[in-house]
Structure 1
Amino acid sequence: MSRNTRTRRTILATAGVLGGAALALALPSMASAHVGVSPDELAAGDYGVLTFSFSHGCDESPTTALQITMPEGLTSVAPTVDSDWNIDVERGDDGLVSAVTYTAVTPVPNGLRGAVSMSVGLDESATDSLAFPVVQECVDGTTEWTQLAEEGEDPHELESPAPVLSIGAAATDGHADHGTTDASPESDPLAVALGAGGLVAGVAALIVAVLAYRRKA
């Protein structure tokens, strides 16, 4: 085998690894480019702490506020005190919290993770899912995360999906688990799967190139 041929095969192998690594890094970032809620599931009649997080601004403009609208099906809402955010609570005629606005003390730059949280209680008759429309305000511009998937539609294909909390069946003994769960948006199963796929593709390219090199050597 000529020296030039070996050089070309080495370049191809390197390109395969770099391409796979880039895909592994880029796809999770794209998949998590929205305002997410964690945990994403609670049981009807349960209590828990919901964390709404983001790692992007409005077209890269720093985030200044998040306005979260409360859906029907909640019995209580208590925003978590946080020195990084000023909190404004709106209530409906029934006295229940209808919306919470978190205003950043310092705008959150694009690319840095920001998060706000609140304790909520779910009605025992809550439906199978609750959507929390979010308006993200930035130094320049606003993004409304309010889209909901229609029946049969993939929510990951929506441009501006609203955070959605899935509701499981109420505890049979009548006593819901009041523990709290928290997770980052980077743990999104889709993001992890896409990232793993990109990494596997890179490794596979390297193996193919090495085997081809050995056969020709």
Structure 2
Amino acid sequence: MSKRLAVVGTATLGVTAAIVLGTAGVASAHVSATATSTAANSYTTATFSVPHGCDGSPTTKIEFQVPESVIEVTPTVNPNWTITKATAPYTSPPASADDESAEDAGERVTSVTYTAKTPLPADERDTFALSFSLPDGKPGDLVEFPALQTCEKGSVEWNQEQKAGEAEPEHPAPSITLTAAGATDDDGDP
């Protein structure tokens, strides 16, 4: 009797492990982001992971769209990839209120593209790091970096918005969830 329970328990444990490992594989199949800091208004380095190619095809390029709420971004060099940045004139409500012209307002990075020197095999992963200041916001707000993964054959747009309380979309945009802003010197007693 106890031998039979041990066999059934072992089989149940094996099935449970297979389900958990299978789910972990699916969850890690997305282009994802992790950050050194998630506090609103803090400086962070976000590391984006590209875990696979497009339906078995090697990755040749990955382009990250920079949200308007992120003013400056600095890409980290990856020796296997070349980096290009697209920019656009930056104008903010405070700039126009001060009667600054568009030329005086400067430019902001709108996207960062990493192009492979040699295509990344579909069964290998790589990471890409961007440094920037997180925007102001409430805890739980998402800062999304839609990405376009281009492969030798095909492409995948990682651009679907993730909504709280809803199932994860098929191709979610890599994102960082803001936490409460850290205390500053101005928050202390006079």
Specify the TM-score bucket, using the shorter chain as the normaliser.
Answer: 0.7 to 0.9
Aligned to 2:115: 103
Unaligned runs of 5+ in 2: 91-106
Aligned partners of 1:65 and 1:136 also within 8 Å: yes
Please report how far the alpha carbon of residue 26 of structure 1 lies from its aligned counterpart in structure 2 after TM superposition: 1.8
- For residues 127-181 of structure 1, the C-alpha deviation after alignment (integer angstroms, 9 at most, x for no partner) is 8221110001111100000001345323xx3100001111223222158xxxxxx
Query: Which residue among 65, 69, 86 is the counterpart of 2:61?
Result: 65
Q: CA RMSD in A?
A: 2.8
Q: Structure 1 length as normaliser, TM-score?
A: 0.68
TM-score scaled by length of structure 2: 0.76
| Corresponding position of 2:153 | 140
* Higher Cα Rg, which structure: 1
Structure 1 range deviating more: 79-88 or 123-132: 123-132
Aligned counterparts of 1:153 and 1:163: Cα–Cα separation in 2: 16
Aligned residue for 2:71?
75
CA pair 122-21 structure 1, distance change in 2 beyond 3 A: closer
The question of whether the paired residues in 1 share the 8 Å contact of 2:36 and 2:45 is answered with no
Does structure 1 residue 35 correspond to structure 2 residue 31?
Answer: yes
Residue deviations 1:42-90 (CA, integer Å, cap 9, x gap): 1122111111102111112111111000002213200001111110111
> Counterparts of 1:161 and 1:41 in 2: how far apart (Å)?
21
Shift in CA distance, 10/121, structure 1 to aligned 2, threshold 3 Å? closer
How far is the alpha carbon of 1:125 from its aligned partner?
Answer: 5.6
The structure 1 residue matched to 2:179, chosen from 149, 152, 168, is: 168
User: Where does the alignment leave 5 or more consecutive residues of structure 1 unmatched?
Assistant: 1-6, 176-217
| Counterpart selection for 1:91 from 80, 87, 94 | 87
Structure 1 CA distance, aligned partners of 2:68 and 2:172? Answer: 18
Query: Matched residue of 1:73: which SS?
Result: coil
Residue identity matched to 2:155: T
- Residue 21 (structure 2) pairs with residue 25 (structure 1): yes
Q: How much identity, in percent, do the aligned residues show?
A: 38
Matched residue pairs, number? 169
**Structure with greater contact order relative to length (CA < 8 Å, sep ≥ 6):** 1
CA contact (8 A) 1:73 1:125 kept: no
Q: Is the 8 A contact 2:37 2:44 kept in 1?
A: no
Higher helix share: 1
